[in-house]
Amino acid sequence: MKALITGASSGIGRDMAFYLGKLGYDLVLVARNKKDLLKVKEKINTKVDVFDIDLSDIDNCYKLYDKVKDIDILINNAGFGLFGEFNETELDKEIEMINLNVIALHTLCKLYLRDFVEKDNGRILNVASIAGFMPGPLMSTYYATKNYVLRLSEAIKEELKRNKSNVSISVLCPGPVRTNFDNVANVRFSLKGQDSKYVGRYAIDKLLNNKFYIVPGFKIKCLRTVSKIVPNRIMANMVYNSQKRKS
């Protein structure tokens, strides 16, 4: 059995790799930082291939697919965020974020899903966020990308169900996690971050049990429930007040 994980050099992706390695999976680890990928590889006892590529360049998504075939699990984890008011944030950075969080995920999801459907077997885990359920002032583009991931996954799930496919898709929707995400996005949240090791293990366990919505932690489950009930204008106000510039 083999799993491909993007964004595998740190955080949730790294911890999912460690856990899948313990479960006996061979791994394909993808990220931009080769040095960090190799550090992850050193701690895993199964067969591990690493690819240090930038998936925000769509051509690299196709190159990765051409090089890596016959996987059993695809985990689309790569992504980043950006803090700031929409009229002030850097457009080039937002385009890079959309390319990575949306275009790369969409591309890999489609390419590997076709293979999974053909053999009628395989699992996909798309990493979204609790942000996908709500508006996100001060991180508008990031929240919008995660909403895309969530809605795309929901639609694919229904299509697979209608076709009676044995292919499984899941979507991971964590809240803040103690990773390098906050530093990259330059944001700090009022809600305490969860441990990435816990989130990674929880996600894999639920994925292997064909759970679709994977929401780690009681507080985050409650927040999801609140997002269903509270009007968007109030939710937007709550989100605005829950995050501040880190520096």
Q: Say what the pLDDT of residue 246 is.
A: 52
Instruction: Name the band, by pLDDT with cuts 50, 70 and 90, for residue 232.
Output: confident
Burial string for 223-238 (b: 16+ CB within 10 Å, else e) reads bbeebeeeeeeebbeb
- Per-residue pLDDT, averaged over 10-16, amounts to 96
In this prediction, residue 191 carries a pLDDT of 66
183 pLDDT tier (thresholds 50, 70, 90): low
Q: DSSP assignment, residue 138?
A: T
Rounded percentage of the chain residues whose pLDDT exceeds 70: 94
- CATH number for the domain spanning 196: value is 3.40.50.720
Q: Stretch 203-207: mean pLDDT, rounded?
A: 98
Which residues make Cβ contacts (< 8 Å) with residue 29, sequence separation at least 6? 5, 8, 9, 13, 17, 37, 40, 41, 48, 49, 50, 51
Contact 24, 93 (CB under 8 A): no
DSSP summary character for residue 46: S
Measured on CA atoms in the order 222, 227, 229, 234, is the torsion positive or negative? Answer: positive
Q: Are 56 and 96 in contact (CB under 8 A)?
A: yes
Average pLDDT on 135-141 reads 93
Average pLDDT over residues 102-125: 98
Contact 77, 127 (CB under 8 A): yes
Containing domain of residue 141, as a range? 2-245
Alpha-carbon distance 180 to 177, whole Å?
Answer: 9
Look at strands 123-127 and 187-189 and give their pairing: unpaired
**What is the predicted pLDDT for the residue at 241?**
87
What pTM does this model have?
Answer: 0.91
Please determine, for residue 229, whether its predicted confidence score (pLDDT) is greater than 70: yes
> Taking residues 119-142, what's their average pLDDT?
94
What is d(CA 81, CA 28) in angstroms, rounded to the nearest whole number?
24
Over the stretch 46-87, which tens digit does the pLDDT of each residue have?
A: 999 999 999 999 999 999 999 999 999 999 999 999 999 999
Q: Rounded mean pLDDT of 212-241?
A: 88
pLDDT beyond 70 at 18: yes
Tell me whether residue 62 is one of the annotated catalytic residues. Answer: no
Choosing from 112, 142, 143, 148, which is the catalytic residue?
Answer: 142
Q: What pLDDT is recorded for position 223?
A: 83
- DSSP conformation class of 194: B
Please give the tally of structural domains in the chain.
1
Q: Reply yes or no on whether the pLDDT at 182 is more than 80.
A: no
